[in-house]
Structure 1
Amino acid sequence: MDKKKLIYDCGRELFHSKGFKDTNISDIAKMAGIAVGTFYNYYSSKEKLFFETYMKENEKFKKHIIESLDMNQDPVALVRQIVEQNISAMTSNKILKEWYNRDLFRELEHYYEEVKGDDDSIRSLYAGLFKKWKAEGAIRQDIDDELLSAFFDSLAYIDSHKEEIGVQYFPQLIQYMAEFIMKGLTDFKK
Structure 2
Amino acid sequence: MLLVVFSSNKGFKKTNIAAITQQADVAVGTFYKYYSSKEEIFYEVYQAENETAKRKIVDQIDERQSPKETIKQFITTIIQMSKQNPILAEWYKNTAVSQLIMKHDKDNWQNSLVYNFLIKNIQRWQETGEFRQDIDEETTLALFNALVVIDNHKEEIRTDNYPYVLEVLADMIVDGLSARK
TM-score range, shorter chain: 0.7 to 0.9
Distance between the aligned counterparts of 1:167 and 1:45, measured in 2?
33
Unmatched 5+ residue regions in structure 2?
A: none
Matching residue's letter, 2:115 = R
Cα RMSD after superposing both structures: 2.3
Aligned length: 179
Cα offset, 1:181, TM superposition = 1.0
* Mapping of residues 79-90 of structure 1, within 5 Å: 79-90=71-82
Distance 1:53 1:76, change over 3 A: same
1:15 aligned partner, one-letter code = F
Q: Quick one: distance in 1 between partners of 2:161 and 2:69?
A: 22
Please list every run of at least 4 consecutive aligned residues from structure 1 whose deviation after the TM superposition is greater than 4 angstroms: none
Over the matched positions of the two proteins, sequence identity in percent amounts to 36
Instruction: Quote the Cα distance in structure 2 between the aligned partners of 1:119 and 1:167.
Output: 32
Does the 8 Å contact 2:129/2:179 carry over to 1? no
Following superposition, the deviation at residue 16 of structure 1 comes to 5.0
Q: Tell me by how many angstroms 1:90 deviates.
A: 2.0
Q: Which residue, out of 117, 124, 129, partners 2:121? A: 129
Residue number among 60, 67, 77 corresponding to 1:75 in the alignment: 67
Does residue 53 in structure 1 map to residue 39 in structure 2? no
State whether residues 83 and 175 of structure 1, in contact with CA within 8 Å, keep that contact through their aligned partners in structure 2.
Answer: yes
The alignment's TM-score, normalised by the length of structure 2, stands at: 0.84
Residue 100 of structure 2 corresponds to 107
Partner amino acid, structure 2, of 1:112: D
Is 1:154 aligned with 2:154?
no
Q: Distance in 2 between matches of 1:57 and 1:164?
A: 26
Cα distance change, pair 184–123 in 1 and its aligned pair in 2 (3 A) = same
Distance 1:17 1:72 in 2: 41
Q: 2:135 aligns with which of 126, 143, 147?
A: 143
Q: Determine which of 12, 29, 48 is the counterpart of 2:3.
A: 12
How far did residue 13 of structure 1 move?
3.8
Pairing of 1:25-40 with structure 2 (within 5 A): 25-40=17-32
Aligned to 1:7: none
TM normalised by structure 1 equals 0.81
**Match for 2:164: what amino acid?**
Q
Cα–Cα, structure 1 residues 17 and 34, in superposed 2: closer, same or farther, change >3 Å? same
